[in-house]
Amino acid sequence: MNKMKTSDFSPMRKRQKRMQIAAPLSSYKIEFKDIIIFIVERKMGMTRRMFLMDLARRKGFRVENELSDLVTHVVAENNSCSEILKWLQKHNVEDSSRFRILDIRWLTACMEVGRPVDSEKYQLPEDEDRSVTSDLDRDSISEYACQRRTTLKNYNQKFTDAFEILAENYEFNENKGFCTAFRRAASVLKCLPFTIVQVHDIEGVPWMGKQVKGIIEDIIEEGESSKVKAVLDNENYRSVKLFTSVFGVGLKTSDKWYRMGLRTLEEVKRDKNLKLTRMQKAGFLHYDDLTSCVSKAEADAASLIVQDVVWKIVPNAIVTIAGGFRRGKQTGHDVDFLITVPGSKQEEEELLHTVIDIWKKQELLLYYDLIESTFEDTKLPSRKVDALDHFQKCFAILKVHKEREDKGNSIRSKAFSEEEIKDWKAIRVDLVVVPFEQYAFALLGWTGSTQFERDLRRYATHEKKMMLDNHALYDKTKKIFLNAASEEEIFAHLGLDYLEPWERNA
Ligand code: DCT
Ligand code: MG
């Protein structure tokens, strides 16, 4: 018997709380009369069984205390089908074919939607001697995101969302250790090909420390984490979250405003003593547009505007969308563009300036900040995982006009009401100009995700004694720079299997 699994991580108080919640049978209302469930205690433990029985009953399911002829669905955790068959035999069940023998996942899936779900895919496979999740070799999951294939299909969003809130809160409070711990935990869970339904599921998975396990257990058992709830209710967290949602407002400014007693954006706007930066003024002016996600269609529209102007100036320039959209995301907070000009340094240097001039004339630039390149050829790649790069770049807010059919409507209504109808959206774009020979490094860096990049640099440093940033790769042992014309070549230099952009959503 393995009763230690869940109680292992829970303090005494919680255990007592769980024991108290089982109510008398008569107090439950049965909603789903065709299904009669029995939960096997073997390998699950009494506490967890009681908890699940109570949960299911509260959701309107009939759950029997004892195995009887009435039972239709036998639910087990961590047992193979043959183990359950043996167990049934021992309990004098001759014809086990009258039950469905299901993995606990079926029950948790039912709990999630609040009604019975199709049990077909949750049947314990007959001659397999292992539980459903253990076919994945969890011990082989790398601690580095650059050795895991992470697509956008996230089976554990419930957990990763919780971790990201906690990580963010730790970041606000400058607790770097816990912030990193929860970011890494979120990142690793995103690559799992199954949903975690029991603490056992994360055995062997890296970055599952004590704190992380505690949160996972809370979510499994209670459906939510009280720690996460406390963060979401915390006034400081809420204010900092709100203030940093304004373009140009970082942690330092948020903190200052909070300490001044400000709590809402209205209060900030009303405060005459505050001196807002140009960036923050633009952030407030276009707040609604900038805080609503950029859709793929809007990114494509922005892309046409960028290509149009760049190709007018330098016809052979290469323009690539990087960032989340290159990883296959359907929405983003901005659109990231890399621009390179094969063969011409002069054209490369002047390009962004000309782009800005043209957009100004076209009245498409709602805000911009042009940063000149600070790159020096001799400099070694940065050792920091979060280092900024040295490319010439422009952080801008672009006026992107809406689709033609919308426009048609708005023109019509304008004629009707004489009111100014806004037929555009303010969209954040980053334009990065990259020397052609550094293009592969820049593309790899600007494709992200941020967590993927951090792990890639950490891997290069600790596993390969190399230094990687958005400009170059340096081999410290051989004391040479390693050139690369493509992302594939960089992966190869690092001895890594190539990951496609959509597999980098760590
Ligand atoms: N990046 C980088 N150096 C910077 C800024 C960003 O290497 N100075 C990397 C990290 C991810 C990528 O570029 C794009 O950055 P974001 O736009 O912040 O991330 P995203 O994944 O595109 O997220 P979103 O979809 O929200 O835009
Ligand atoms: Mg982006």
pLDDT band at 2 (very low <50, low <70, confident <90, very high): very low
Q: Which amino acid is at 120?
A: E
CA dist 207 and 73 (Å) reads: 36
Buried b or exposed e, range 6-32, using 16+ CB within 10 angstroms: bbeebeeebeeebeeeeeeeeebeeee
Q: Which amino acid is at 341?
A: V
Specify whether the CB–CB gap between 470 and 391 falls below 8 A.
Answer: yes
Which residue has better confidence, 135 or 211? 211
DSSP SS3 for 485? coil
Alpha carbon nearest to ligand 1 atom 9, residue = 446
pLDDT at 90: 80
pLDDT at 316: 94
Residue 208 Cα, ligand 2 centroid: separation in angstroms? 28
pLDDT at 412: 52
CA dist 325 and 334 (Å) reads: 9
CA dist 277 and 483 (Å) reads: 40
Q: Is 334 in the pocket of ligand 1 (CB under 6 A)?
A: yes
Using left for φ > 0, alpha for ψ between -120 and 50, and beta otherwise, residue 42 falls in beta
Q: Which residues contact 149 (CB under 8 A, 6 or more apart)?
A: 191, 499, 503
Whether cis (ω within 30° of 0) applies to the bond prior to 449 is yes
Specify whether the CB–CB gap between 159 and 190 falls below 8 A.
Answer: no
Residue 451 Cα, ligand 2 centroid: separation in angstroms? 13
Specify whether the CB–CB gap between 353 and 447 falls below 8 A.
Answer: no
Q: Which atom of ligand 1 is nearest to the CA of 430?
A: 17
Specify whether the CB–CB gap between 186 and 164 falls below 8 A.
Answer: yes
pLDDT, tens digit (0-9, with 9 covering 90-100), for 173-221: 999 999 999 999 999 999 999 999 999 999 999 999 999 999 999 999 9
CA dist 258 and 236 (Å) reads: 7
Which residue has better confidence, 382 or 53? 53
pLDDT, tens digit (0-9, with 9 covering 90-100), for 347-385: 999 999 999 999 999 999 999 999 999 988 778 888 887
Alpha carbon nearest to ligand 1 atom 14, residue = 323
CA dist 246 and 271 (Å) reads: 16
Backbone angles phi, psi at 147, to 5 degrees: -115, 15
Question: Residue 148 pLDDT more than 90?
Answer: yes
Q: Which residues are designated catalytic?
A: 334, 336, 430
pLDDT mean over 105-115: 93
Question: Residue 465 pLDDT more than 60?
Answer: yes
The structure tokens 């019509």 sit at 412
Alpha carbon nearest to ligand 1 atom 17, residue = 323
pLDDT at 425: 98
Residue 487 Cα, ligand 1 centroid: separation in angstroms? 17
Question: Residue 38 pLDDT more than 80?
Answer: yes
Q: Which residues contact 440 (CB under 8 A, 6 or more apart)?
A: 484, 485, 486, 487, 489, 490
pLDDT, tens digit (0-9, with 9 covering 90-100), for 401-424: 997 555 445 555 555 555 678 999
DSSP SS3 for 78? coil
CA dist 34 and 352 (Å) reads: 68
0.85 cut: is pTM over it? no
pLDDT at 393: 97
Q: Is 446 in the pocket of ligand 1 (CB under 6 A)?
A: yes
Question: Edge-to-edge strand order for the sheet containing 73-76?
Answer: 61-64, 32-39, 73-76, 100-103
Q: Is 324 in the pocket of ligand 1 (CB under 6 A)?
A: yes
Mean pLDDT rounded to a whole number for the chain = 89
Alpha helices in 404-470 (DSSP H): 404-417, 439-447, 450-464
The closest of 446, 450, 459 to 494, measured between CA atoms, is 459
pLDDT, tens digit (0-9, with 9 covering 90-100), for 245-272: 999 999 999 999 999 999 999 999 999 9
pLDDT mean over 3-14: 38
Largest separation between any pair of C-alpha atoms in the chain = 86
Question: Residue 397 pLDDT more than 50?
Answer: yes
CA dist 466 and 459 (Å) reads: 9
- Running DSSP on this structure, what letter comes out for residue 232? H
Alpha carbon nearest to ligand 1 atom 3, residue = 388
Q: How many CA atoms lie within 13 A of 423 on its CB side?
A: 17
The closest of 336, 351, 328 to 435, measured between CA atoms, is 351
pLDDT mean over 126-146: 67
Percent of the chain with pLDDT over 90: 75
Residue 393 Cα, ligand 1 centroid: separation in angstroms? 13
Q: Which atom of ligand 1 is nearest to the CA of 335?
A: 27
pLDDT mean over 56-85: 91
Q: Is 501 in the pocket of ligand 1 (CB under 6 A)?
A: no
Q: Which residues contact 300 (CB under 8 A, 6 or more apart)?
A: none
